[in-house]
């Protein structure tokens, strides 16, 4: 069996309501998918996390190295692609291109073997994965705290038991927003905050001190991803668990984050940090540091399905009789691509989403929709 085709696609949808976070704004959503086809006509889908057109160029650069290879040799292909990219991309977008191809190969391998990806990863520990809602972005609404409170109430009404909101505009503004959201959802729903590295160390420390009474489940990307010492120092000085890793790449990147005792929760993006092959190793490395993994997820149903399969196999640490459930991020911000590009749709039940059972990732792409939204 040989790989006979690798095709990258960029799709785009404009937003009805532009939104922003501590770094930049969105007026559209774009993503890059890749389809890897084998000589018998079977295919797998993958997705890269980051600037879609740049990832597509990366996939085109890597394609000649994977064509003709055996699609079951997923990690052998990964090693070949990584070695070719290493001189230029120890971090960043070429790693996302490798990630996309790798995820497509896991999907394809699952289809060729007639097994869901969770089985290939070692076997699922649960049929449903608890998810948290990511939303509560900033908009130009006249009364932003009230708008955030209403959005948070809607997530609670949909059945989410954990919700993450954006901070990073400034300590006082962020506190006002967080208090409005906590008041709206009551004390029983987990609330997380994500600064997207918008704070200096001293701002992050002050914010952590001030927000502690709101019972925050984790504080994500408090400071620059380059400030490993700042992460570690903040973690020593607050009782709020510190999360990070969506800007980190590969096993070597997570080695630095973990050995520096920077985070309580590691958040690799499967579509960015190296694909399922590499994130499986990152999970193992994190376990050696007694650190739990909650994958970052921001994309289509391909990215989300990869997350579901991975998290279905995780054992939370430390082991004990009554274990908490591991979590996966579920982006709820406006994204028609995410909602329409893949089938079947994902449904929330009791704060969780069922792990697909079909071979591979268990999701397929609507080719007509993709063609309508494709960008050259
Ligand atoms: Ca984030």
pLDDT tens-digit series, residues 134-163? 999 999 989 999 999 999 999 999 999 999
Distance separating the N- and C-terminal Cα atoms of the chain:
31
Residue 115: pLDDT band by 50, 70, 90 thresholds? very high
pLDDT, mean over the chain: 97
Contact present, 321 and 328 (Cβ < 8 Å): no
CA of 76 to the centre of ligand 1 (A): 31
CA of 246 to the centre of ligand 1 (A): 7
What are the structure tokens assigned to 89, written together? 């991309």
CA of 114 to the centre of ligand 1 (A): 34
CA of 121 to the centre of ligand 1 (A): 25
Question: Which of 3.30.1050.10, 3.10.20.30, 3.30.540.10, 3.20.20.120 would CATH assign to domain 119-364?
Answer: 3.20.20.120
Residue whose token pair is 């980051």: 50
Q: Rounded mean pLDDT of 177-199?
A: 98
Residue 217 clears pLDDT 90, i.e. is over it = yes
Beta bridge partners of 185: none
Residue 226: pLDDT band by 50, 70, 90 thresholds? very high
Q: Rounded mean pLDDT of 342-363?
A: 97
- The answer for residues whose C-beta is within 8 angstroms of residue 64's C-beta and 6 or more apart is none
Query: What are the extents of the domains in the chain?
Result: 3-114, 119-364
Residue 219: pLDDT band by 50, 70, 90 thresholds? very high
CA of 4 to the centre of ligand 1 (A): 36
What are the structure tokens assigned to 82, written together? 């990584």
Please give the class, per CATH, of domain 3-114: alpha beta
- The answer for residues whose C-beta is within 8 angstroms of residue 240's C-beta and 6 or more apart is 208, 211, 212, 216, 218, 219
CA of 359 to the centre of ligand 1 (A): 30
CA of 140 to the centre of ligand 1 (A): 21
SS (H, E, C) the chain: CCEEEEEEEEEEEEEEEEEECCCCEEEEEEEEEEEEEECCCCEEEEEECCCHHHHHHHHHHHHHHHCCCCCCCHHHHHHHHHHHHCCCCCCCHHHHHHHHHHHHHHHHHHHHHCCEHHHHCCCCCCCEEEEEEECCCECCCCCHHHHHHHHHHHHHHHCCCEEEEECCCCHHHHHHHHHHHHHHHCCCCEEEEECCCCCCHHHHHHHHHHHHHHCEEEEECCCCCCCHHHHHHHHHHCCCCEEECCCCCHHHHHHHHHHCCCCCEECCECCCCCHHHHHHHHHHHHHHCCCEECCECCCCHHHHHHHHHHHHCCCCCCCCCCCCCCEEEEECCCCHHHHHCEECCCCEECCEEECCCCCECCCEECHHHHHHHEEC
Instruction: Mean pLDDT check: name the lowest of 61-75, 186-200, 210-224, 314-328.
Output: 314-328
CA of 299 to the centre of ligand 1 (A): 13
Residue 45 clears pLDDT 90, i.e. is over it = yes
CA of 298 to the centre of ligand 1 (A): 9
Q: Rounded mean pLDDT of 303-332?
A: 96
Contact present, 231 and 245 (Cβ < 8 Å): no
CA of 268 to the centre of ligand 1 (A): 10
Q: Catalytic amino acids?
A: 296
Residue 376 clears pLDDT 90, i.e. is over it = no
Contact present, 249 and 273 (Cβ < 8 Å): yes
CA of 220 to the centre of ligand 1 (A): 6
Residue 92 clears pLDDT 90, i.e. is over it = yes
């Amino acid at each position: 069996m040989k790989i006979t085709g690798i095709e990258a696609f960029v799709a785009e949808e404009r937003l009805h309501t532009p939104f922003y976070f501590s770094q930049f704004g969105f007026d559209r959503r774009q993503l890059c998918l890749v389809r890897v086809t084998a000589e018998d006509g079977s295919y797998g889908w993958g997705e890269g996390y980051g600037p879609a057109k740049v990832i597509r160029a990366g996939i085109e650069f890597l394609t000649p190295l994977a064509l003709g290879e055996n699609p079951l040799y997923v990690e052998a292909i990964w090693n070949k692609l990584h070695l070719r990219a290493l001189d230029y991309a120890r971090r960043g977008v070429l790693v996302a291109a490798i990630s996309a191809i790798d995820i497509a190969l896991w999907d394809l391998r699952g289809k060729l073997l007639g097994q869901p990806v969770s089985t290939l990863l070692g076997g699922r520990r649960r049929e449903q994965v608890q998810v948290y809602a990511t939303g509560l972005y900033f908009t130009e609404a006249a009364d932003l705290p009230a708008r955030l409170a209403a959005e948070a109430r809607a997530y609670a009404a949909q059945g989410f038991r954990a919700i993450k909101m954006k901070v990073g505009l400034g300590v006082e503004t962020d506190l006002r927003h967080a208090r409005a959201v906590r008041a709206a959802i009551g004390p029983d729903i987990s609330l997380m905050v994500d600064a997207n590295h918008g704070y200096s160390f001293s701002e992050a420390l002050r914010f952590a001190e001030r927000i502690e009474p709101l019972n925050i489940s984790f504080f994500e990307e408090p400071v620059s991803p380059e400030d490993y010492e700042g992460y570690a120092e903040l973690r020593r000085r607050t009782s709020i668990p510190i999360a990070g890793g969506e800007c980190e790449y590969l096993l070597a990147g997570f080695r630095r984050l973990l050995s520096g005792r920077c985070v309580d929760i590691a958040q690799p993006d499967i579509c960015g940090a190296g694909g399922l092959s590499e994130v499986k190793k990152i999970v193992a490395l994190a376990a050696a540091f007694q650190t739990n993994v909650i994958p970052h997820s921001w994309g289509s149903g391909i990215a989300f399905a990869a997350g579901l399969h991975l998290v279905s196999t995780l054992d939370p640490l430390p082991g004990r009789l009554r274990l908490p459930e591991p979590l996966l991020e579920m982006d709820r911000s406006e994204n028609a691509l995410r909602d329409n590009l893949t089938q079947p749709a994902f449904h929330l039940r009791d704060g969780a989403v069922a792990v697909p059972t079909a071979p591979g990732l268990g999701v397929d792409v609507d080719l007509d929709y993709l063609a309508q939204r494709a960008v050259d």
